[in-house]
């Protein structure tokens, strides 16, 4: 019987991290060794006697028997903490999309590669049932040839400062890259401000891929609604993914001019197929994927997708500042020719390129 992976969970205020800790605690492949949190909460939360509590992050780094550290949010994983964990030979899990400079994310990728450690940093929403189903539809060619992708995210008018690209666009970009399994080579972005804010209230952008596919992204806080959708338009059908918390769903509409068959169902032009909403088990799936990567002892799984999304957002910011001028997208590691990323079974791995 294989030894379970020992995990520490770094929690935040107001119970942030409780769900993550419970997920690891319930998995036979893991042992919840540490909770890094306010020790005063320890008495009110029921974990086994093998789980220790601390407020000192350094205790986790110094524990030679600890295999992995899981952060309950990107803020808690602030690049120096995640980097310190990797340099202390711990595998790292981050519940959420990294929010730092792409150069900092690339440093995490490089540290994981150097130490042969696993690094998973993405929002569990990428593992929701409707997203996984969309992956399967694309993978088996049910949509036909992919023409383009349209993604939009709207927010109600903000009371305070709102950065469209960082606050609304980052996770949407990460979703688009994940669905296509690719990274753009060039982007353009233009923004407008209508209500007197220093930042744009609305932004239109295009991500261009070497395959010829374009992703069109529309971000706005002026539409009078809060919504998030991604449409994948193919030669046979269009899939519409609603990823907002209140409207999670996936539907497919026929694109042809004549009756046809979709997934063995006869459909007419304009017919729409709506899939049943399955329970959201994405956090457990993310934890399980991480543990599998840790236990596989193969190529290190890394936060490559997180670094790629950050690089795209930075390029979009630069294009917007330059009034829509095309901006190339290339991570620092790729520019130096030192790291080659590839996909293997849904987990991105990294290998060093021989010079």
End-to-end CA distance of the chain: 41
Q: What is the CATH number of domain 129-274?
A: 3.30.360.10
Cα–Cα distance measured from residue 224 to residue 109, given in angstroms and rounded to the nearest whole number: 39
Retrieve residue 350's tokens: 């990294």
Q: How does pLDDT run across 91-113, given as a tens digit for each residue? A: 999 999 999 999 999 999 999 99
Q: Over 70: is that where the pLDDT of 144 sits? A: yes
Helix (H, G, I), strand (E, B) or coil at 342: strand
**How does the average pLDDT of the chain come out, rounded?**
86
Q: How does pLDDT run across 202-212, given as a tens digit for each residue? A: 999 999 999 99
DSSP 73: S
What pLDDT shows up at residue 244?
82
Q: How does pLDDT run across 214-268, given as a tens digit for each residue? A: 999 999 999 999 999 999 999 989 999 998 877 789 999 888 655 566 666 777 7
Cα–Cα distance measured from residue 252 to residue 231, given in angstroms and rounded to the nearest whole number: 9
Strand pairing category for 214-220 and 227-234: unpaired
The CATH fold assigned to 5-124+282-303+331-352 is Rossmann fold (3.40.50)
Cα–Cα distance measured from residue 192 to residue 155, given in angstroms and rounded to the nearest whole number: 15
Give the total residue count for the chain. Answer: 355
Cβ(185)–Cβ(329) below 8 Å: yes
What pLDDT shows up at residue 301?
58
Retrieve residue 24's tokens: 């690891």
Strand pairing category for 339-344 and 347-352: antiparallel
Cβ(252)–Cβ(238) below 8 Å: yes
Q: How does pLDDT run across 77-89, given as a tens digit for each residue? A: 987 999 999 999 9
Domain locations along the chain: 5-124+282-303+331-352, 129-274
What pLDDT shows up at residue 108?
94
Retrieve residue 291's tokens: 């543990």
Strand pairing category for 249-254 and 237-242: antiparallel
Q: How does pLDDT run across 35-60, given as a tens digit for each residue? A: 998 766 655 566 777 889 999 999 99
Q: Over 80: is that where the pLDDT of 130 sits? A: yes
């Amino acid at each position: 019987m294989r030894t379970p992976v020992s995990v520490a969970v770094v929690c935040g205020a107001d119970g942030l991290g409780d769900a993550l800790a419970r997920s690891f605690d319930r998995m036979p492949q893991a042992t919840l060794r540490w909770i890094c949190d306010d020790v005063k909460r320890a008495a009110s939360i029921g974990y086994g006697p093998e789980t220790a509590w601390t407020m000192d992050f350094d205790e986790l780094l110094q524990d030679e028997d600890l295999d992995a550290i899981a952060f309950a949010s990107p803020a808690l994983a602030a690049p120096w903490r995640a980097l310190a964990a990797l340099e202390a030979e711990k595998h790292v899990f981050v519940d959420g999309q990294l929010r730092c400079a792409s150069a900092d994310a690339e440093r995490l990728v490089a540290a994981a590669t150097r130490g042969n450690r696993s690094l998973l940093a993405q929002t569990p929403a990428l593992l929701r049932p409707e997203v996984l189903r969309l992956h399967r539809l694309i993978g088996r060619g049910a949509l036909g040839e992919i023409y383009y992708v349209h993604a939009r995210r709207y927010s109600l008018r903000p009371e305070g400062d709102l950065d469209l690209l960082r606050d609304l666009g980052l996770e949407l970009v990460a979703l688009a890259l994940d669905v296509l399994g690719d990274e753009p080579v060039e982007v353009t972005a233009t923004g407008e401000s209508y209500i007197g804010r220093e930042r744009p209230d609305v932004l239109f952008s295009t991500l261009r891929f070497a395959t010829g596919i374009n992703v069109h992204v529309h971000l706005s806080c002026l539409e009078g609604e809060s919504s998030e959708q991604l449409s994948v338009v193919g030669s046979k059908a269009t899939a519409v993914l609603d990823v907002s918390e209140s409207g999670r769903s996936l539907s497919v509409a026929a694109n042809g001019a004549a009756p046809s068959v979709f997934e063995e169902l006869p459909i007419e032009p304009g017919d729409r197929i709506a899939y049943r909403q399955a329970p959201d088990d994405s956090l457990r799936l993310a934890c399980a994927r991480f543990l599998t990567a840790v236990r596989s002892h193969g190529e290190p799984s890394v936060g490559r997708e997180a670094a790629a999304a950050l690089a795209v957002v930075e390029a979009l910011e630069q294009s917007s500042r330059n009034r829509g001028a095309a901006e190339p997208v290339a991570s620092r590691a790729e520019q130096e020719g030192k790291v080659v990323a590839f996909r293997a079974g849904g987990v991105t791995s990294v290998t060093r390129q021989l010079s």
